[in-house]
Amino acid sequence: MGKEVNGVSRSRFEMFSNSDEAVINKKLPKELLLRIFSFLDVVTLCRCAQVSRSWNVLALDGSNWQRIDLFDFQRDIEGRVVENISKRCGGFLRKLSLRGCLGVGDSALRTFSQNCRNIELLSLNGCTKITDSTCNSLSKFCPKLKHLDLASCTSITNLSLKALSEGCPLLEQLNISWCDQVTKDGIQALVRSCPGLKGLFLKGCTQLEDEALKHIGAHCPELVTLNLQTCSQITDEGLITICRGCHRLQSLCVSGCANITDAILHALGQNCPRLRILEVARCSQLTDVGFTTLARNCHELEKMDLEECVQITDGTLIQLSIHCPRLQVLSLSHCELITDDGIRHLGSGPCAHDRLEVIELDNCPLITDASLEHLKSCHSLDRIELYDCQQITRAGIKRLRTHLPNIKVHAYFAPVTPPPSVGGSRQRFCRCCVLL
């Protein structure tokens, strides 16, 4: 084993010493070491860079830094760190996440854009210092950009979208959620020059109206995912244009868009057979009639959020149970007309045995323990929500658990008022709820 140095054999000491003549460097070619380093994360690479001069060169080689996510490493970084990374990585860098890096601004991202011209995926989610200047830089230097996340970058305006349309024609996914200065003019410029858009996340873009959706429907035939949550000004007119122009649509979120009616569900059923995810929470004008058309035509539905669709009844559940065998997640919270009979149909449908994983029934006052009996054969059921279902009992939940021992049941029960204390003036307090 060789002579020991401070309890470590000389051979092992040499393997990990700061000497560039260490055995590992002699035995393994640099190409193989470089390949090994390519599997390491940012933190480990930085540690390896401190072992020796030769390892420093290998660990910091740009080819090892093609994908960087600083969110899991250090979020309080300053702009100079991004500049240094960009100089180190250069044209090797393909994916970078600066999500939540509040200290990074336009200047650092200009340097980054100049150095990393092959960037394809960039997340600036929550980088609130950046402005339209950053998008101008990306437009000028980063023509290969495909995925860009600008969510919560509230200084972004139409000028950013116009810049991206001019310099980033390969853009496939854009997230500008909560960029509430964006209007139809920015959307129009973007979609006309980026025909390959597959994902648009416009949550909280409250100035968007139907005119913006008409531009999307006319120019985005490849669109797969669209999020319009809380875009409260949109109506059936704009969304119908989306359905007619975007036949590949698989995921649509219009939760909080209170103006929409069954016309949207009919349009989806007639035009978007690949639909897998539909979120229409708080769309209170939707009825069984619309969901019947949807279910009969969109057989690939996997997730549906129908919270506060207050007009739907068991009729919707009957149609889903018959026509949607892939259903995995279903939210019916605050759907107060749903009864045990609807859950019975759902529990006996083709999705129940192997597919259904989550069902949310909060504030469904007509639901009783009978519904739990109907769900006990849903072997994939992982979670059920039962808050404020006042006809559900502890005993019913216990019986459900005998069939589904690993299920997570979220419910609470008001405690029984304790009897007055005897012989003491001290007031007794009890917990307001018991969480199962």
Report the number of distinct structural domains present in the chain. 1
- The arithmetic mean of pLDDT across residues 289-302, rounded, is 98
CA angle 34, 38, 42 (to 5 degrees): 120
**For residue 277, which amino acid is it?**
I
Burial environment of residue 173 by CB neighbours within 10 A (0 to 12, 13 to 18, 19 or more): middle
Whether residue 249 lies inside any domain: the answer is: no
Whether residue 387 lies inside any domain: the answer is: yes
Whether residue 332 lies inside any domain: the answer is: yes
Rg (CA), the chain: 28
Domain containing 288: what range? 269-413
C-alpha 82/C-alpha 134 separation (Å) is: 13
Element housing 280 (H / E): none
Judged against a pLDDT cut of 60, whether residue 434 lies above it is answered with no
Judged against a pLDDT cut of 60, whether residue 254 lies above it is answered with yes
User: Residue 308 belongs to a domain with what CATH number?
Assistant: 3.80.10.10
Judged against a pLDDT cut of 60, whether residue 436 lies above it is answered with no
Sign of the four-CA dihedral 286, 288, 293, 297: positive
pLDDT digits (tens, 9 = 90+) for 309-352: 999 999 999 999 999 999 999 999 999 999 999 999 999 999 98
Whether residue 80 lies inside any domain: the answer is: no
Whether residue 178 lies inside any domain: the answer is: no
pLDDT band at 14 (very low <50, low <70, confident <90, very high): very low
pTM: 0.86
What confidence score (pLDDT) does residue 44 get? 77
What are the angstrom distances between the C-alpha of 407 and each of 129, 344, 351, 376, 379?
44, 19, 17, 10, 9
What are the angstrom distances between the C-alpha of 153 and each of 136, 164, 313, 365?
15, 15, 41, 41
Whether residue 202 lies inside any domain: the answer is: no
Average pLDDT, the chain: 88
- The least confident of 63-72, 96-105, 271-280 is 63-72
Whether residue 67 lies inside any domain: the answer is: no
Whether residue 299 lies inside any domain: the answer is: yes
Rounded to 5 degrees, φ, ψ at 351 are -80, -20
C-alpha 310/C-alpha 308 separation (Å) is: 5
C-alpha 400/C-alpha 436 separation (Å) is: 13
